[in-house]
Amino acid sequence: MQAFTYLRAADAGQAVALLAAYGPAARILAGGTDLLVALKAAAPAPSVVIDIAAAADMRGIAVIDEGLRLGALVTHSEIVESALVHALCPGLAEAARAIGAVQTRNLATLGGNLMTCVPSMDSGPMLLALEAWVTVASPRGPRRCPLHDLFVGPRRTSLRPDEVLVEVVIPGAQLGKPAAFRKLGLRKGQALALVNAAASFRPYRGGDSFREVRIALGAVAPTVIRAPRAEAFLEGRPITAAAMAEAGRIAATEASPIDDFRASAAYRRAVIAVLVHRALAGAQAQAGGEARVPCST
């Protein structure tokens, strides 16, 4: 491991100031499950590490005016165990439970998972299917952006070197929306996704047709993606197994999976069709009893 300067930020503002002072040579340390591996690798390591673990303004899960706020430092175990998440967006708890082993989930953060920007991330598809947005702190002041604008390419986000991801917000209109997450890996646990999928929709009054359909996919393109043609196919259509299966087949045509040592592109396309169908069916299973936003956090 190469030598580096260790600094500790008390809050998001101080983290931004340190990033501005040290420039691209600095890296943010949150849970450390990715960065510590990078520090030990042969590739050039950062000369400055800024630890944000003590930043209280980047923690917590709470209902705010805009929706459900998850601080960037919230761990996946906290998401799995959160009564608010289970009540308002249980699909996010499903996705968090699929990440690594319990030891990893105890340390790894939501913000860290998103900032790795690996196509196989498990938190991204569910958050895209719930139309989440993020708040970013910078020397120019805070800014918001839709989550999909954060993803640029493999391990590339839209953040500037002096910016920090502070929070993720699931809009209030999405809370209680039926949604589900499905994943396939080479083994049951501690596996990168070969394919993952998330789906959300609201049934029209009477519960017999699709409305506000959102389908998101991971590990099948350079970034996590939505499947707009599959979404449009389902909109207003009667809720049937045949419709879900066809939406899965359409979604498979919207992806651009690769052949690698873990699976072929053709296999991944077949899995997309299956997982989209299963995610839609999982959302349908929730549709009978949508959650309500509680009066307090």
User: Which residue bears the tokens 């989930």?
Assistant: 105
Mean pLDDT of all residues in 69-90: 97
Query: What is the per-residue pLDDT for 189?
Result: 66
* CATH of span 5-51: 3.30.43.10
Domain ranges of the chain: 5-51, 56-174, 179-286
Intrachain domains 5-51 and 179-286 with the same fold? no
The CATH fold of domain 56-174:
3.30.465
- Reported residue count of the chain is 297
How much is the average pLDDT of 154-178? 96
Write down the H helix ranges in the chain.
12-22, 35-40, 76-81, 83-88, 90-97, 102-107, 110-116, 123-129, 147-150, 228-234, 241-254, 265-286
Per-residue pLDDT, 42 = 55
Distance of CA 161 to the CA centre of its chain: 21
Q: Report the pLDDT value the prediction gives residue 244, as an integer from 0 to 100.
A: 98
Q: Which of 141-150, 269-278, 282-291 has the lowest mean pLDDT?
A: 282-291
pLDDT band at 43 (very low <50, low <70, confident <90, very high): low
| CA-closest candidate to residue 123, choices 85, 87, 156 | 85
Q: Flag whether pLDDT at 295 surpasses 50.
A: no
- pLDDT tens-digit series, residues 253-272: 999 999 998 899 999 999 99
With 70 as the cut, is the pLDDT of residue 293 above it?
Answer: no
Give the highest mean pLDDT range of 41-50, 93-102, 236-245.
236-245
Tell me: pLDDT of 76 over 50.
yes
Architecture of domain 179-286: 2-Layer Sandwich (3.30)
- How confident is the model at residue 188, as a pLDDT? 67
Share of the chain above pLDDT 90, in %: 80
